[in-house]
Amino acid sequence: MASASGATHFATKVELTISCENLMDMDVFSKSDPLCAMYIRSSGSQWYEFGRTEMILNCLNPKFAKKFVIDYYFEMVQSLKFCVYDIDNDTYDLGDDDFLGELECTLGQIVSSKQITRGLLLKDKRPAGRGTITVSGLFLWWSDPFLEFYKQTETGWQLAHRTEVVYNNLNPTWRPFRISLRSLCGGDVENPIKVDCYDHRVNGSHDLIGTFKSTLAELQTGTHISPAEFECINANKLKKKNYKNSGVLCIKRCQVVKEYSFLDYIMGGCQINFTIAIDFTGSNGDPKSPHSLHYINPEGYNEYLTAIWAVGNVIQDYDSNKMFPVFGFGAQVPPSWQVSHEFPINFNPANPFCSGIEGVVQAYQQCLPLLKLWGPTNFSPVIRHVACFARQALQQSRASQYYVLLIITDGVITDMDQTCSAIVEASRLPMSIIIVGVGGEDFSAMEFLDSDDKLLRSPNGDVASRDIVQFVPFRDFQHAKRPCCMSALLVIFFQKVRVPGLSGSLLIILFTPLPKILS
């Protein structure tokens, strides 16, 4: 708060508690039902209401539970007025209730005396019978607490995690956080852990509130119903008389769960089913032209074939039978020459499988001269095709099938809304999608589908349950060594492949600490 001169005034919180004795009895058949309203006088000498206590039925000696917390400015005169009423109706307006008396004083008088007791006065300043009012003031020293978790090492305590700061709070609740066991306790739940609680300071010289030591095994004993409690002790205050602790930290939940990696799935018998979809739209250019992305050079390669080899050689090691269904989209297909967005490149709808990556390459080379590259670029048909099989696998009693769809394309998606919807639906299935962008076109739409920052949302508002798309621009690794491509692919499986019901190797902790004023 700033004065008219522009000087800054620093405030301290003061908690006011109100009680009365010997109030006038205004009711005929019962006692008064008192309530106390507090008013503050503004710089213009106008009184405005700051707050009210609760009403207490049939009581002439009320001790109000509702307290007033107000900012105290040492250098300012803060005039207060406490008015007591006998509540006779349900209206908010106090003007139609019986007036039992008032007290005018300054906040400075209350603070300097800690407690004042005065006789209540009527509007004409006559005593309101024998009624008195007592106002007690208590300074509240608010803290901005945060926690630091330390791991014990051979060289001492090493910081493992720092929570966020909870401002102006003596009963903070910190957000749950996740941390690996190795980072917190070296993977051993019996290794010591130290937790420090600090009061945050802007200049970085944080004040230690208290500390405690424990183990992960002890932290795990806490539940929402029965939290694990740890006293925060400040060693510098142990010699103080009656010092017990500086607050209590309550761990409501601490859970260790196993993170299942891609290799865990494979070792557990999960079968990977690999499907390839190839873009045969006209934007790729005439395959007979050296400028076409489908042009096969004298060495027998183009960007599509290179992408198939690079990705396929990684995936095929995890496909038990190495039989891959391969589909094309965006071309006119013989003999009807209708545009298709889901045709087998071996032209055998009953058996669209190719044997190994070599079989995929051979089928691609044989079908290319027979197609008329056309358009548009629609992803949704082939995504829904694979999702159909993934949905059937989801109905099995155990997670034994996982589907990976590789889409190789050169540019902008035409059916973006339908593709978003198909991906959102597929996110609930055991399925992932790799999109490899070839050529130098704008791939912003692909990056949008690879929703790393936030989960994909369909046009009707449905949100994906997980991120199942990994987009890889071919130009980013076409001149790199094979391990670079493999690394890009493994990101999908180590970070995104999740079977429903399995979670990560993470420590999750909920806090509700410091249930008293810190001393």
- CATH 2.60.40.150, the chain: domain bounds: 12-140
Q: Does pLDDT of 82 surpass 70?
A: yes
Say yes or no: domain 145-257 is CATH 1.20.120.
no
**Nearest Cα to Cα of residue 218 among 171, 243, 249, 254:** 254
pLDDT of the residue at 261: 63
Query: What three-state secondary structure class fits 392?
Result: helix
Q: pLDDT digit string (tens) for 296-333?
A: 999 988 989 988 888 888 778 777 789 999 999 999 99
Tell me the average pLDDT across 104-132.
95
Tokens of 235: 């060693």
pLDDT of residue 316: 80
- Separation CA 464–CA 458 (nearest Å): 8
Its pTM stands at: 0.54
The partner residues of 473 in beta bridges, in order of sequence, read: 437
Residue 246 pLDDT > 80: yes
| pLDDT tens digits, 331-372 | 999 999 999 999 999 999 999 999 999 999 999 999 999 999
Position 489 scores a pLDDT of: 52
User: 465, 304, 453: which is closest to 373 by C-alpha?
Assistant: 304
pLDDT surpassing 90 at residue 260: no
Judged against a pLDDT cut of 50, whether residue 499 lies above it is answered with no
pLDDT higher than 70, residue 483:
no
The structure tokens 């024998």 sit at 130
Question: What's the pLDDT score for residue 293?
Answer: 95
pLDDT in tens, 135-144: 999 877 778 8
346-360, 436-450, 496-510: segment of lowest average pLDDT: 496-510
Residues β-bridged to residue 409: 437
Q: What is the predicted pLDDT for the residue at 83? A: 98
Nearest to 509 by CA among 113, 179, 168, 92: 179
φ and ψ at 345, to 5 degrees? -75, -10
Write down the mean pLDDT value for the chain.
86
In terms of CATH, what superfamily is 262-496?
von Willebrand factor, type A domain (3.40.50.410)
C-alpha distances in angstroms, 5 versus 1, 9, 78? Answer: 12, 11, 18
> What pLDDT shows up at residue 503?
33
Of the ranges 200-204, 232-236, 491-495, the best mean pLDDT one: 232-236
Q: How many helices (H) and strands (E) does the chain have?
A: 10, 26
- Which one has a higher pLDDT value, 43 or 357? 357
The predicted pLDDT at position 513 comes to 36
Tens of pLDDT along 455-473? 899 999 999 988 889 888 8
Encoded tokens for 112: 């300097």
Superfamily of domain 12-140 in CATH is: C2 domain (2.60.40.150)
* Torsion sign (Cα): 244, 250, 255, 256: negative
Q: Look at residue 98 and give its three-state secondary structure.
A: strand
Which pLDDT belongs to residue 357? 92
Query: What is the H or E stretch that residue 308 is in?
Result: helix 303-315
The two three-digit tokens of residue 136, written as one number = 């007690």
pLDDT computed for residue 280 by the predictor: 97
At 477 the pLDDT is 65
Domain with CATH 3.40.50.410 in the chain: 262-496
| For range 217-222, the mean pLDDT | 92
Q: Is the pLDDT of residue 45 over 90?
A: no
pLDDT tens digits, residue range 152-206? 999 999 999 999 999 888 888 999 998 988 899 998 999 999 999 999 988 889 9
Distances (CA, A) of 265 to 134, 257, 318, 466: 70, 16, 11, 18
What local confidence, expressed as pLDDT, does residue 109 receive? 94
Residue 234 has pLDDT above 70, yes or no: yes
Residue 412 confidence (pLDDT): 79
> Phi then psi for 356, rounded to 5 degrees?
70, 175
From CA 209, how far away is CA 235, in angstroms rounded? 10
Nearest Cα residue to 153 out of 213, 193, 198 = 193
Confidence of residue 272 (pLDDT cuts 50, 70, 90): confident
pLDDT value at position 242?
Answer: 81
Q: Are strands 271-279 and 323-329 parallel, antiparallel or unpaired?
A: parallel
Report the share of the chain in percent with pLDDT over 70. 87
Confidence (pLDDT) at 514: 39
